[in-house]
C-alpha cells in the first residue's frame, strides 16, 4: 500500500506545481496547490546594462548564484549581439558558483568554475571565500536573483570585495488570499504535509511573528514539512520546524517517491 494513500498534500510551489500534484495523485494522494512563491519580474533594460557593465569593466571574480539569472544575462547579451563577448569575458574571469543549475549552465558554454558551494548554499560559498582571505580591493560581479540579494552583497563586501550587483528582476509578493488559505489549512491540520521547493516560499509563509509561532507548532505536532532539498530544509529549521523531510537528491520525482516510502514507515 502506498504511503500517500488518503494523504492530503499542500503544494507551496509555483514552477512545476502541476507536475508535483500529478505525481502525488499517481501514488494515491490528494493534492492542492497554494502557490506562494511570488513572482520575479524582468526589467530588460537593467539586464542589458548589467551585460555591458560586465563586458566593459575589469572584474576579478564573477559570482553566479542561479541558473535562471545566468540565462537571463545570456539572453540579454544575445539580444544585443554581444553573446560571444559575454561568454569570452566569463572565460577570462574567475567564476564562483552556487547551485547545480548554474553549474549546468556553465558546462553548456564550456566554462568551468574555480569554486563551487559544496552544499549549494551561499553560506558555504561565503565561508569558502573567507578562508581564501584575499578579497581586499578586488572587484566582484554578483549575479543575484532572489530576495536575499542585498544580504549576499553585504556578505561579499564584508570580505573586502568591491561589488557590482546585477539585479535585473524585481520581486512581486504572492497573493495574500492564497497565503492565508495555506496558513489556515496548516493551523487547522486539514493537510497531512506541505511541500516547499524554495526558501522563498518558506520565508513568505513565516512573514509575521504570530504566524511563526502558530505554524511552527502545527508543523512540529501534526503536519509534515517537506522540502525539495537541503537549502529549503535549512530555511524551515531556521523558523523552528524540526518535523521536516527532504529527499536524498533535490529532485521533484525523488521527493515524491521518497516521501511515499517515508510516510509508509511512519
Q: What is the pLDDT of residue 210?
A: 66
Q: Which three cell numbers stand for residue 119?
A: 552544499
Chain segment 149-197, per-residue pLDDT in tens? 778 888 888 888 999 999 888 788 899 999 999 999 999 999 999 999 9
* pLDDT over 90 (residue 56): yes
What average pLDDT is seen over the chain? Answer: 89
Whether residue 138 is found in the same domain as residue 97: yes
Whether residue 124 is found in the same domain as residue 220: no
- pLDDT more than 90, % of the chain: 54
Domain-embedded: residue 3: no
* pLDDT over 50 (residue 138): yes
How sure is the predictor about 1, in pLDDT bands with cuts at 50, 70 and 90? very low
Q: What is the pLDDT of residue 17?
A: 92
Q: What is the pLDDT of residue 250?
A: 83
Q: What is the pLDDT of residue 146?
A: 66
Domain-embedded: residue 2: no
How sure is the predictor about 41, in pLDDT bands with cuts at 50, 70 and 90? confident
Domain boundary among 106, 141, 171: 171
Whether residue 58 is found in the same domain as residue 15: no
CATH of the domain at 255: 3.40.50.10090
The pTM score is: 0.70
- Residue pair 200/38 in contact (Cβ under 8 Å)? The answer is yes
Whether residue 126 is found in the same domain as residue 188: no
Q: What CA–CA distances, in Å, run from 138 to 60, 62, 70?
A: 6, 11, 22
Give the range of the structural domain holding residue 156, as residue numbers without chain letter. Answer: 40-171
Whether residue 163 is found in the same domain as residue 214: no
Whether residue 247 is found in the same domain as residue 149: no
Whether residue 17 is found in the same domain as residue 52: no
**Secondary structure of residue 65 in the 3-state scheme:** coil
Q: What is the pLDDT of residue 121?
A: 77
Whether residue 165 is found in the same domain as residue 181: no
How sure is the predictor about 55, in pLDDT bands with cuts at 50, 70 and 90? very high
Whether residue 192 is found in the same domain as residue 164: no
Domain-embedded: residue 222: yes
Chain segment 217-265, per-residue pLDDT in tens? 999 999 999 999 888 999 999 999 999 999 988 888 888 889 888 888 8
Q: What is the pLDDT of residue 42?
A: 85
Domain-embedded: residue 108: yes
Instruction: Please state the rounded mean pLDDT for residues 125-152.
Output: 82
Instruction: Please state the rounded mean pLDDT for residues 125-137.
Output: 83
Domain-embedded: residue 53: yes
Q: Identify the weakest region by mean pLDDT among 54-63, 70-79, 194-203, 256-265.
A: 256-265
Residue 222 main-chain phi, psi, to 5 deg? -135, -35
String of DSSP letters for 124-169: HHHHHHHHH---TT-EEEEE--STTHHHHHHHHHTTT-EEEEE--E
- pLDDT more than 70, % of the chain: 97
Whether residue 187 is found in the same domain as residue 208: yes
Work out how many domains the chain is built from and give that number. Answer: 2
Domain-embedded: residue 187: yes
Domain boundary among 142, 171, 200: 171
Domain-embedded: residue 195: yes
What's the CA gap between 35 and 172, in Å, rounded? 13
**Number of Cβ within a 10 Å radius of residue 159:** 17
Instruction: Please state the rounded mean pLDDT for residues 64-73.
Output: 89
Domain-embedded: residue 1: no
Angle, nearest 10°, between helix axes 67-79 and 44-56? 80
What's the CA gap between 237 and 69, in Å, rounded? 27
How sure is the predictor about 147, in pLDDT bands with cuts at 50, 70 and 90? low
* pLDDT over 90 (residue 202): yes
Q: Which residues contact 135 (CB under 8 A, 6 or more apart)?
A: 129, 156, 159, 160, 161
Whether residue 163 is found in the same domain as residue 191: no
String of DSSP letters for 5-37: TT-EEEE--STTHHHHHHHHHHTT-EEEE----
Whether residue 216 is found in the same domain as residue 100: no
Domain boundary among 171, 206, 229: 171
Amino acid at each position: 500500500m502506498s504511503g500517500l494513500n488518503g494523504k492530503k498534500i499542500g503544494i507551496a510551489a509555483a514552477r512545476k506545481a502541476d507536475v508535483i500534484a500529478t505525481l502525488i495523485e499517481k501514488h494515491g494522494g490528494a493534492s492542492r496547490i497554494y502557490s506562494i512563491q511570488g513572482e520575479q519580474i524582468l526589467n530588460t533594460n537593467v539586464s542589458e546594462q548589467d551585460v555591458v557593465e560586465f563586458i566593459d569593466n575589469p572584474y576579478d571574480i564573477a559570482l553566479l548564484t542561479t541558473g535562471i539569472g545566468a540565462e537571463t544575462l545570456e539572453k540579454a547579451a544575445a539580444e544585443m549581439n554581444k553573446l560571444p563577448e559575454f561568454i569570452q569575458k566569463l572565460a577570462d574571469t574567475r567564476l564562483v558558483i552556487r547551485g547545480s543549475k548554474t553549474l549546468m549552465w556553465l558546462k553548456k558554454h564550456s566554462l568551468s568554475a574555480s569554486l563551487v558551494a559544496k552544499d549549494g548554499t551561499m553560506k558555504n560559498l561565503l565561508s569558502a571565500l573567507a578562508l581564501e582571505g584575499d578579497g581586499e580591493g578586488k572587484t566582484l560581479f554578483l549575479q543575484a536573483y532572489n530576495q536575499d540579494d542585498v544580504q549576499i552583497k553585504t556578505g561579499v563586501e564584508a570580505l573586502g570585495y568591491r561589488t557590482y550587483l546585477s539585479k535585473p528582476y524585481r520581486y512581486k509578493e504572492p497573493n495574500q488570499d492564497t497565503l492565508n488559505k495555506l496558513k489556515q489549512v496548516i493551523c487547522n491540520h486539514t493537510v497531512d504535509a506541505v511541500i516547499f521547493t524554495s526558501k522563498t516560499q518558506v520565508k513568505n509563509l513565516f512573514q509575521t511573528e504570530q504566524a511563526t509561532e502558530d505554524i511552527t507548532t502545527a508543523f512540529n505536532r501534526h503536519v509534515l514539512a517537506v522540502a525539495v532539498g537541503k537549502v529549503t530544509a535549512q530555511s524551515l529549521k531556521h523558523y523552528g520546524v524540526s518535523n521536516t523531510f527532504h529527499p536524498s537528491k533535490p529532485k521533484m520525482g525523488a521527493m515524491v517517491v521518497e516521501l511515499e516510502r517515508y510516510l509508509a514507515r511512519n
